[in-house]
Amino acid sequence: MKIKPSSYIRNDYAELSSYCRETGEPVYITKNGEGDMVVLSIDAYEQLNDRLKRLEAKCYLMQKFREADAYNKLHPKTYTLEEAEEALEAFLREEEAGK
């Protein structure tokens, strides 16, 4: 991990850029001794962003699987598409006969 003051950007930009591109590592920039920002190469940023998107998608799917599992525990009977269509047709026939 590399930590540099904000003046490093102005004074040694070429070195900063080379370091980030060659190592793929971030450089932490401080301002007045406090953390201010992080500098990454574009490739490292895109890899990080792609990984974040994959993790978000995985979390979303896991949540949907948990919801489906909870629903199935409360409603253990499931139907095939054909069974659902037959039940719907029977219901509609009964409704028509009752009118």
Residue 76 has a pLDDT of: 80
Using CA atoms, how far residue 65 sits from 16, 41, 57, 68, 77, in Å, is 44, 36, 12, 5, 17
Q: What is the mean pLDDT of residues 77-81?
A: 86
pLDDT in tens, 39-56: 999 999 999 999 999 999
The pLDDT value recorded for residue 99 is 64
CATH number (3.40.1620.10, 3.40.50.1980, 3.20.20.60, 1.10.760.10) of 2-40 reads 3.40.1620.10
The whole-number average pLDDT for the span 17-25 is: 96
Q: Where are the domains of the chain?
A: 2-40, 45-98
Write the pLDDT tens digit of every residue in 56-70. 999 999 999 999 889
Tokens describing residue 72:
């199935």
Q: Give pTM, 2 decimals.
A: 0.64
pLDDT at 79: 85
Q: Kindly report the average pLDDT of the chain as a whole number.
A: 93
- Please name the residue that has the structure tokens 């370091």: 19
